[in-house]
Chain A
Amino acid sequence: MIKMVRLVSTLVVITSAAWLTACSNKPMTKEVPVAKVDPAIVAAGKAIATGRSKGNCLACHMIEEGESPGNIGPPLIAMKARFPDKAKLRAQIWDATAVNPESAMVPFGRLQVLSDDEIDKVVEYIWTL
């Protein structure tokens, strides 16, 4: 019985924490270090990144196995080596013009093309490339 209560309360704490993170509208949500990434999140990120209506990363970037990619931006390869700091990769996707005002990259977060949650998922996916 006590075990059950503990389990339920832990679950409640976790879900409410997740809910809070998802709801906070801050542009730079701090990444919670996670040992291994849920493959479901990576898959969701891939769907957003490669789909035409959402991230549409392929419009400008080559991605391995991605069909008809553009070449305006650099190919998305060796991302962990290029962005050892995941937060920097997230910041680049959120608003590339913050670092380089003349960047042609869409400010996906700043101009609300993607939600914070969607960007988190895309970051997880891109980081696997």
Chain B
Amino acid sequence: MDPVEPMQTQLLTATGRETMKKLLISLAVLLITAVSAQAGPEEDRMAFIKYYKSKFPNVPMEEYANGAYAIDPVGRENWEAIEEFPPYEPFIDRGQVMWETPFANGKGYKDCFPDGPVIAHHYPHWDKKQKMVMTLPLALNQCREANGEKPLKYKKGPINNILSYIAFQSRGQVVNVKVPMDDPDAVAAYEDGKKFYFTRRGQLNFSCASCHVQNTGLKVRTEILSPSVGHVTHWPTYRSKVDWSTVGTLHRRFTGCNKNIRAKPMKAQGPEYRNLEYFLSYLSNGLELNGPGARK
């Protein structure tokens, strides 16, 4: 019997085991990447950017904060003229008064938000304690209620004043939404927002994506459809159309979009719209905040 033989066999099995192990590892890696390629927020954001870049190769990234005006030269001229005498200015001033005026109990917004008023870029965020997406309007109302004040309405009215003030003070801050991937509830909220975005609804059967991905840059009547990267940077926004003619919130805009496609709108600041805001805001990561905004 050759004495070397058992040695060889041993070696072979060892290499065999090694190969097996490598195979398993690469299989696992493959599986993980396959799953994450479908799901991760960062992959989503990169996919949106890739899509818009291929549609609008000459639009620099920072321009996306200007919405449709990044891709609509005619509308842009009009908009720049409006921005010379910003229609939202009086609302900022009223908001400052709100920020500085104490509640009946002597405390004020400043006590709830000690880092304020430059805080818009901290929202929306995942609130681990309350297990929900926290938005700025919701945080403002939680502050009010904690101090015995009535909550403000979420679509129209004075909430837009204080939001205008905070938005103006927060100009230039960078959107930096985080989805804690180790928290399944946070991931689920993000995924829920994404699902909402891609779901067709209403009698007209549109999803957010039908207009703002599939047909971005094209026109409905005379209106150019804006890209979703940049949708959240400029709120609240003054809209000059007749039934606005004032500053309104992002959730008021969601409501309007849903009504346009003949879907029953969700509740402003309810879980559906907050989760949608979470997803949508993540897409704008890296862009500068430029609210309050002015739009048609």
Give A residues with C-beta under 8 Å from B: 58-60, 68-72, 97, 102, 104, 106-107, 111-113
Chain B hits for A72, CB < 8 A: 215, 218-220
In angstroms, Cα B203 to Cα A59, docked, is 16
Contact B204 A68 (CB under 8 A): no
Known A72-B215, A104-B210, A104-B214: A113·B221 in contact at CB below 8 Å: no
Give B residues with C-beta under 8 Å from A: 203-206, 210-211, 214-215, 218-222
Chain A hits for B221, CB < 8 A: 58-59, 68-70
Contact B220 A59 (CB under 8 A): yes
Interface of A is mostly: loop
Contact A106 B205 (CB under 8 A): yes
Chain A hits for B220, CB < 8 A: 59-60, 70, 72
Chain A hits for B218, CB < 8 A: 70-72
Of chain A, the residue at the smallest CB distance from B261 is: A106
Of chain A, the residue at the smallest CB distance from B223 is: A70
Contact A104 B215 (CB under 8 A): yes
Contact A71 B219 (CB under 8 A): yes
Chain B hits for A107, CB < 8 A: 205
Chain B hits for A71, CB < 8 A: 218-219
Known A59-B220, A68-B222: A106·B204 in contact at CB below 8 Å: yes
Chain A hits for B219, CB < 8 A: 70-72
Beyond the given A72-B218, A106-B204, could you list 9 further A-B residue pairs with CB under 8 A, ordered by the A residue number? A59-B220, A60-B220, A102-B214, A104-B214, A104-B215, A106-B205, A106-B206, A111-B203, A111-B204
Of chain A, the residue at the smallest CB distance from B215 is: A72
Of chain A, the residue at the smallest CB distance from B206 is: A104
In angstroms, Cα B220 to Cα A19, docked, is 37
